[in-house]
């Protein structure tokens, strides 16, 4: 596996490209709503977990869903769902709330990728779909070529986060 800064040498005329949304897009909206974002507070990368939830197979591609986790105060969970639901192209609403073991996460303090996030008293782990799912699918499906991002290093654009919100 190679990690080049430029992919031009790998590009072929018959490749298809697309961008996956990122949950980082809705974090400013969470903060604006007064909802803390722990990995920003800790200045670390968001914790990411490979789940037991299988993606829908597309041709020969299949694999597990990867999620990000943010601890949310119990009394702010409904608001967090409302805020993030406005960003359906950027992973939108959570895919799971609480009980990490129900989605195959043995220890919420030991992420598969990223950094652990402290969960304080009165907080609940909340999980959103993650674009790193593409890497998990690639590792399972083993396509001959796949160009994707590294966890925590996303596509950068001049569009504002709010441009992706549904009003």
The string of pLDDT tens digits covering residues 41-61 is 999 999 999 999 999 999 988
> Of 138, 118, 119, nearest to 50 (Cα)?
138
In the three-class reduction of DSSP (H, G, I as helix; E, B as strand; rest coil), residue 121 is classed as coil
In the three-class reduction of DSSP (H, G, I as helix; E, B as strand; rest coil), residue 159 is classed as coil
Q: What is the pLDDT of residues 68-89, one digit of tens each?
A: 999 999 999 999 999 999 987 7
Say what the pLDDT of residue 40 is. 87
Question: Which domains are seen in the chain, by residue range?
Answer: 23-150 (3.30.2040.10)
Residues 33, 83, 70, 107, CA torsion sign = positive
In the three-class reduction of DSSP (H, G, I as helix; E, B as strand; rest coil), residue 62 is classed as coil
Say what the pLDDT of residue 135 is. 86
């Amino acid at each position: 596996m190679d990690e080049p800064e430029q992919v031009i040498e790998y590009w072929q005329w018959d490749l298809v490209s697309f961008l996956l949304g990122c949950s980082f897009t809705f974090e400013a909206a969470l903060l604006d709503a007064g909802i803390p974002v722990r990995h920003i507070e800790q200045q670390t990368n968001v914790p990411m977990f490979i789940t037991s939830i299988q993606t829908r197979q597309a041709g020969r591609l299949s694999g597990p869903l990867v999620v990000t986790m943010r601890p949310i105060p119990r009394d702010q969970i409904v608001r967090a769902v409302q805020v993030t639901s406005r960003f359906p192209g950027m992973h939108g609403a959570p895919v799971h709330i609480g009980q990490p073991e129900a989605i195959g996460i043995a220890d919420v303090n030991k992420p598969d990728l990223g950094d652990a996030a402290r969960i304080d008293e009165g907080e609940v782990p909340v999980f959103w779909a993650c674009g790193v799912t593409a890497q998990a699918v690639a590792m399972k499906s083993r396509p001959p070529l796949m160009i994707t991002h590294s966890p925590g290093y996303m596509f950068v654009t001049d569009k504002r986060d709010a441009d992706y919100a549904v009003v």
